[in-house]
Structure formats: C-alpha cells, structure tokens
Structure 1
Amino acid sequence: MTSVLDNPIWNALTSGTEKYSQGNDRVRYMNRSMGLFVGFQSYSEAAWSDLDKWFSQGDSIILFTTGEQAIPKSWIIKLKRPIAQMVFEGDTALPPDAHGKAVPLSKANVPAMLEITALTNPGPFFAKTIELGYYEGIFEGEKLVAMTGQRLHPDPYVEVSAVCTHPDFVGKGLAAELLRNQIRCILAESKIPFLHVNRDNYGAIRLYEKLGFKRRREMRVYFLEKAI
C-alpha cells in the first residue's frame, strides 16, 4: 500500500485530487490556480513531449521523485533537493487540546493566508490552494499567526501541508494543535496522514515525530522552469 507514496503526485492526481487536475494517462498536472504539481505515470519521452505541449516558456512545475531523474533540455532545473516523507503511525486516540484556538479558514481569509505563507515559505501557495483540503488557522486578535491544511490526496493517504507559524509566535504549541486537528480530521475519514518536510528542518521533524509521524523514505523535489 505504501508504494502509492513512491509516486504521490501522480497517484493524487489520478485519485483523490483528480478533479483538480488535467492531462492524460501518461502525465497529469494540477490546476495552475491551486499548485504547480506535475505527476508522471513514468518518466517516458512521450510523457515529457505531452508536457512540453501544455506549458510555455517561463512556466514552473514541481515534481516529487524517489531519486534522480533525467530532465529534458526543454526544462531548467531551478531547484533540486532531498526531502523527508513521513507517515502517521501514532496513537489514534489523540489528547484534546487545552485551549482549542484553531478555527476553520475560508476564502475570506485567503489574503491573510497568502501573507503568512509568503513570510514563512512552506511551499508555493495560491489563492485557490485552500480548495485542496481542510484549512485551519489560529488568530491573535485579527492577525493570522499559524495555519495548516491538506494538499495531495493519493488515496488512501492525505498530505498535511502548509504548516506555518509566524516567527513571533513559534514555540507556543500552535503548530502542534493544528497538526493534531488535521490528524483527527484525516483519520475520521478512514484515511492516513502523511507529509513532506525539508530534510534539515530538524525542529519540524522532531515535532512530527512527537505527534506520531515516522520517516518513510527520502524523496527528491524538483522545481523546473520551461526553457523553450
């Protein structure tokens, strides 16, 4: 079952996130107003050729792979780095949060969500990314100071994403509360939480492990730009 996560973008865009994708039976891409993700069934010459027809010079895409990939000359590698993939294997009887500050986020909160993601850089976030899953946030007065939500849905897994906290509010347990809520929400739908994190983000990894996530494997993230 976990082999689904060896190709999480393709399996998401052909199952739980399919309605937000376009493409064919070789390669699919997420709606550009929501994300930059592209999933390949296999990295064939025909699939790359299809992709070249759909994108223009300067367009960007993101791939998650299990190792190094040969990238055609029609694409420029802007970023390539290892990331850790983690899957929830913890106790499903999570303790209740003492304060319960988290509230659901809606389209009215998108400007604030764009502001905090621009500040903390958890990964590309767009005006319609909120539609990919259940987003919650924590406010201090009128200011959004922490949030998280869901992104890829490669059945039966759901990716927890956009975990971010304003630098002035780090260390107050806000991310932990939001993550526990996401875990509860995903488990309630009989799905399995997973996530991706930069391999050198030791503080985040410690938090995820404390909450019951285990490292599954190392992946590669590619950020590519169309050259021609």
Structure 2
Amino acid sequence: MTAHLDNPIWSALTSDCKPLGNGTQVAKCFLPDVAPFGAVQEDTFENFQALYDLCAAEQVVVLFSPKDQLDPAPWTMINQVPGIQMVFEGAIVPSALENRTVPLREKDVPQMLALTSLTQPGPFLPRTIEFGGYYGIFEGEMLVAMGGERLQGDLSTEISAVCTHPDHAGRGFANAILTRVIENIKQKGRLPYLHVRADNTNAIALYLKMGFVQRSVMNFYILKR
C-alpha cells in the first residue's frame, strides 16, 4: 500500500504535483523556483543521464532514496544526508493552540522565506507555497512558526517546512501546526508522512510522541550538474 513512498518525489511528479514539474517518462524534476527535487523511475545510468539533460548547468538537484549507496553518474554528488521517513498512524490529539494557526498566503512568502532561512527545516523557495496547505502562527505581525504540505501523490501527502523561530521555541507551536496539517490531510482521505534528518533527535521525538512511526530509512542525495 505504501511502496510508492520508496520513491516519493517520483510519485508526486507523476500524479498530484505534475503541474509543478516537467520531465520525461523516466526522469522528472520540479520547476527550479518551486523545489530543488528530482527523481528517476529507476536508478540506471540512462535515467540519470535523462535527468541531467533536463537541468541547467551548475543546477543542484536533491533526490530521495532508501538506498545507502547510489551512483548518480553523470551527476556530481555533493553530499549524502541520512534521513528517516515516517508515516502517521496515531490518533489526532487536538492542540490548545490550534486556534492560533492561520492559512498562509502569497503575501506571507517573504516572512516564510526568512523563517525557513533562519531555521533550515529543508528547502523552501519563492513558489514552494504552491504545494498548498501551509499554516502559520504569528506574534503580532511576525511569523514565528509554520508548516504545511509538499509532495502529494498516490493518496499520500508529505508534511514539510515545520519550524519555529528560536525565540519562540518550547511553546507548543510546532505541535499545533502539525496537528492542523495532519487534520487537513486526513480529512482528504490521504496518508500523512514526513521526512526528517536522522540526527534531528528533537524533531523525531516530537513526531513519535504525536503518533508517527518510522517507515524506512531515506537518504537525501544532493547532486550538482
């Protein structure tokens, strides 16, 4: 039922997120100002060459793979970041702060870019908001916490960009954002899941407490053309 999550970027680009990317029958990538992600149908030299041909000189592309060894030639591998893929199997527990979460719109993009630049939850670009489903918490006019939906395909939706300004950490904002996004995904009959760096122990602890379970290892490969 969740085999498509072994190649989640491919799953998204061949279904719900297809309008946000381009590619061929064997290689696809998101538009550069939406997300830096690319994928191949299978890990072959021919498919990596097809992905290479889709991209501009010096372009950086991020691939997700459960494999701990990958040969992406002709790409140059810049880094391999160990991660974990988790799926939500718990019960939704309402957050007392959930009423503070508000939908984020185009006008909020500058603050979203600033917050994600500060906290580094993962790639967030000027058009990433077009994935939809982003919520935030404000203190006055300042965005201090956010999170939303990213990869969507085969009745699964990835939760992404969950972050809190360091000056406002420890107040339950991440829990409130996660709860709101999980509810929205479940209401659409979809499976919530997410990716997290293996060394981000604080986030993993929160996700486990909220009802996520580890599905698999998921390595993040950063490649350069």
Interval of TM-score (by shorter of Structure 1 and Structure 2): over 0.9
Q: How does 1:13-24 map to 2 (within 5 A)?
A: 13-24=13-24
**1:166 matched to 2:170:** no
Does the Cα contact within 8 Å between 2:95 and 2:175 map onto a contact in 1? Answer: no
Identity of aligned residues (%): 41
Q: Which residue does 1:212 correspond to in 2? A: 211
Give 1:183-194 correspondences, 5 Å limit: 183-194=182-193
Instruction: Report how far residue 41 of structure 1 moved.
Output: 0.6
1:4 equivalent in structure 2: 4
Cα offset, 1:55, TM superposition: 1.7
Which residue does 1:122 correspond to in 2? 121
Q: Which moved more, 1:56-65 or 1:44-53?
A: 44-53
Per the TM alignment, residue 99 of structure 1 is displaced from its structure 2 partner at its CA by: 5.8
Q: When the two structures are superposed, what TM-score results if normalisation uses the length of structure 2?
A: 0.96
* Aligned residues of 2:98 and 2:180 also touching (Cα < 8 A): no
Alpha-carbon distance between aligned partners in 1 of 2:56 and 2:28, rounded to the nearest angstrom: 16
CA distance in structure 1 between the aligned counterparts of 2:59 and 2:157, rounded to whole angstroms? 27
Within 5 Å, give how 1:79-228 maps onto structure 2: 79-92=79-92, 94-98=93-97, 100-226=99-225
SS at match of 2:28: strand
Unaligned stretches of 5+ residues in structure 2: none
Paired residue secondary structure (1:100): helix
Q: Which residue of 1 aligns with 2:62?
A: 62
Q: Aligned letter for 2:122? A: G
Contact 2:164 2:174 survives alignment (8 Å): yes
Provide the rounded CA distance (Å) in 1 between the counterparts of 2:53 and 2:42.
17
Report the RMSD for the aligned CA atoms in angstroms. Answer: 1.2
Letter in 2 for 1:30: F
Cα distance in 1 for residues equivalent to 2:98 and 2:70: 46
SS at match of 1:131: helix
Paired with 1:131 and 1:41, the residues of 2 have a C-alpha distance of 24
- The worse-fitting range, judged by mean Cα deviation, of 144-153 and 48-57 is 48-57
1:178-226 Cα deviation digits (max 9, x unpaired) = 0000010000000010000011111111111111100111111001111
Is contact 1:33–1:126 with CA below 8 Å preserved after alignment? yes
The two structures have a TM-score, normalised by structure 1, of 0.95
- Contact conserved, 1:5 with 1:154, CA < 8 A, in 2? no
Secondary structure, in 3 states, of the residue corresponding to 1:80?
strand
The whole-number CA distance in structure 2 between the counterparts of 1:51 and 1:2 is 25
CA apart distance, 1:98 = 4.7
Structure 1 ranges of 4+ moved more than 4 A: none
What letter is aligned with 1:201? N
Please give the alpha-carbon distance, in whole angstroms, between the structure 1 residues aligned to 2:110 and 2:34: 15
Residue 38 (str. 1) matches residue 74 (str. 2): no
1:49: how far off?
2.0
Question: How much does 1:66 deviate?
Answer: 1.2
